[in-house]
Amino acid sequence: MIYALLLIWVAVSSSSAQQFYDPSGCSSDTSNQGSRYTCDSAQQPCRTFLVYRANQHFGHQNLLNISALFQVESDELLDLNNIASPLETLKRGREVLVPINCSCSGEYFQASLSYIVSERTSFPEIACGVFEGLLKSLTLLQENPSQGTDVEAGVKLDVPLRCACPGGFARFNGVKYLVTYPILEGDRITPLSMKFSIAPEDLLAANHLEPKSTVYPNTTVLVPLKSDPVINLNVPDSPPPTPGFLPTITVEKTKNTKLRKLYIAGSVVGFFLIVVALLACGFYVKAVKKWKGERLQSFTDRNSVLSCSTARSSPRSGQTGRSSTNSCLSPDLLAGIKFSLYNYGIEDIKRATNDFNEDTNKIGEQVYKGLIDNESVMIKQMRFEDTRQVIDMHSKINHVNIVSLHGVCYGENDFAWSYLIFELPTNGCLRNCLSNQANRLSWRRRTQIAFDVATILHYLHYCIFPSYAHMSVNSRNIYVTSKWRAKLANIGSTLAISASTMNDKVVTVNGLVAPQNPMNEAASVKVDVFAFGVVLLELISGKEAAQGTFLKDSIRFLGGGANEGGCFEQLRSFIDPCLKNEYLIAEALCLAILAKACIEDDPLRRPSMDDILKVLGRMV
């Protein structure tokens, strides 16, 4: 049972524990995620291995030369590779296992060597030729900044080879070594995994690769091994890729001049007919677009007139007030609305909220609850200039896990304030549900709510363009329906912004500071991931995130310092006592470790909503 739980731990934490594969070649002058394998300063050095191929061009055709290059004893290579003599000339391309000492230097793993240049050469020639892509030329240049583009003979270079040590989660999964393997033309995942007798899925997971991913020449992958490495040299190399063209067939030239002229004349006529047909199609499409545009304009004009003429009426209640230009939607605003909205009068809003009664109807800052046509609604007071942004956002989205926008109303005398009318799910906000001791939220409902919130964030991040960061995900902006399904509110507010416009460095989420790099579109959505992790902690513990760093400090035991038994006991003490023993400890461990990954200080170490959804999808 303990082993199964640890496997779940590994699966959930893979997004932060795995190294990344860099698809750019050895000579590339760009540094990507995976160009060097990252580490934490607390990680201990390890003994591991890399694979090197015998290369006569650079004089490394036997184990004596290879051991000198990597500064290891030749006897160690003899035993490891089952070769009789260090002077035996190896077949070109014969793969050799080389033991190395891998340690964490700064934020990267490396096996540190020194190399004396024998003749005038370049950094790409050394990195990609002599060391066969076991490091990028850019890394070699950065490690030796005093050298120019060309390197003179006799110069001593520091060489930081790529390597990695298994992290805590990998060790729990039984991984003993991560072997650095340089990719050649024709290498594929399946034959490579067969060489080391491991499952292709393990190889993909260790390098953060998806199924059917492509690996490219002059790059490296990490091979996870649970025992001492042995290469199966009987596995054939992968075949080279199929050519992208079909072989040509020689056709005997015709000697019939008349037939050739006929072919030419037919081709000219055919070309002319094709041009005429294309022009006719173009004119037809243009005419259809013009006709549709005129009909759309006519429809918009009629709707604008109709909406303004009934500005004070509620189509639901049938109550009609006096028409007023101050209380109707402006034509510019209506032109941007692509879906149906009710236009309420201010009297409808006052009646629904008992004239904005703060004792009985106020549920948040400038937010009131009320009844319109016997339906519970949430009425939010906003500045006029912010209203269009919210309406525009709701016109672009269509998702069952978003609180629906029903209608809009403008102020009684001016446009300074307006009111947006939303649905109000029956069970209120998630925070209230977690605090309600009389009707406690079961574990199954909590996991379903987590899945629902992940679903809508995945939709905002991946299914609309441009991708959208909510920036205000918390248990008070998540509402629960009568069927205990979650809906996200506050879409389109001034806090939530397009992912491509963010440039803040620090964001505070429910009392927890979420450090950020200067944000691009990919990094900005990581703020939502951080906030989602905080919501997960609230679902597990029942405690409110407003207690600052308390929740984050409460799961530090998941960092690997505690033994297995102590880890589970601390987890049980962290879980909401209202749940008693009605939860599965394996699922609780999954959610806790997932939450920990989400609130990592480094945004790039947080999982994506796509990764999160895959994990939660197995629990509901």
Cα–Cα distance list, 374 to 316, 317, 399, 615 (Å): 10, 10, 24, 40
C-alpha 236: how far from chain center: 36
Q: What is the pLDDT of residues 425-440, one digit of tens each?
A: 999 999 999 998 888 8
Q: Which of 177, 210, 225 is the last residue of a domain?
A: 225
Residues 449, 359 share a domain? no
- The answer on 608 and 460 residing in a single domain is yes
Could you tell me if residue 118 is inside a domain? yes
Helix (H) or strand (E) holding 377: strand 375-383
Residue 301 pLDDT:
45
Which of 397, 423, 449 lies at the terminal end of a domain, its last residue?
423
* 356 and 437 part of one domain: no
Domain-ending residue, one of 384, 403, 423: 423
Res 302: pLDDT: 38
575 and 473 both lie in a single domain: yes
CA atoms within 13 A on the CB side of 76: 12
Does some domain include residue 261?
no
Angle value at C-alpha 96, between 46 and 178, nearest 5 degrees? 30
Q: Which helix (H) or strand (E) holds 65?
A: helix 63-70
Are both 409 and 435 inside the same structural domain? no
**pTM, entire model:** 0.49
Q: Is residue 534 one of the residues assigned to a domain?
A: yes
**232 within some domain:** no
- CB-based contacts of 355: which residues, under 8 Å, 6+ apart? none
Q: Is residue 270 part of a domain?
A: no
10-residue mean pLDDT series, the chain (620 residues): 46 56 90 86 89 86 92 90 90 93 92 92 92 93 84 92 86 88 90 93 91 90 94 71 40 56 84 89 82 53 36 40 38 50 89 92 91 93 86 89 92 74 94 89 95 96 88 94 95 57 49 55 81 94 72 73 68 90 90 92 92 91
Compute how many other C-beta atoms are within 10 angstroms of the C-beta atom of residue 436.
13
Domain that holds residue 133: 37-225
> Are 419 and 437 in a shared domain?
no
Report the sign of the C-alpha dihedral through residues 297, 300, 306, 309, in that order: negative
- pLDDT reported for residue 481: 96
Clarify whether residues 356 and 488 are in a common domain. no
Pair of tokens at residue 391? 């309406």
Query: Residue 487 is inside which H or E element, if any?
Result: strand 486-488
Q: Judge if 440 and 413 occupy the same domain.
A: no
* Domains held by the chain: number: 3
The answer on 455 and 364 residing in a single domain is no
Residues 391 and 414 in one domain: yes
- Asked whether residue 175 is domain-assigned, the answer is yes
Structural domain contains residue 324:
no
Q: Say yes or no: 417 and 437 in one domain.
A: no
Q: Which residues contact 337 (CB under 8 A, 6 or more apart)?
A: 329, 391, 395
In a domain, 373, yes or no: yes
Per-residue model confidence (pLDDT) at position 303: 40
Task: Examine the domain organization and report whether 475 and 363 are in the same domain.
Answer: no
Q: Which residues pair with 479 in a beta bridge?
A: 429, 487
Q: What is the CATH number of the domain that holds 369?
A: 3.30.200.20
Q: What is the CATH number of the domain that holds 528?
A: 1.10.510.10
User: Which amino acid, residue 209?
Assistant: L
- How do residues 226-242 score in pLDDT, each as one tens digit? 999 999 988 875 544 44
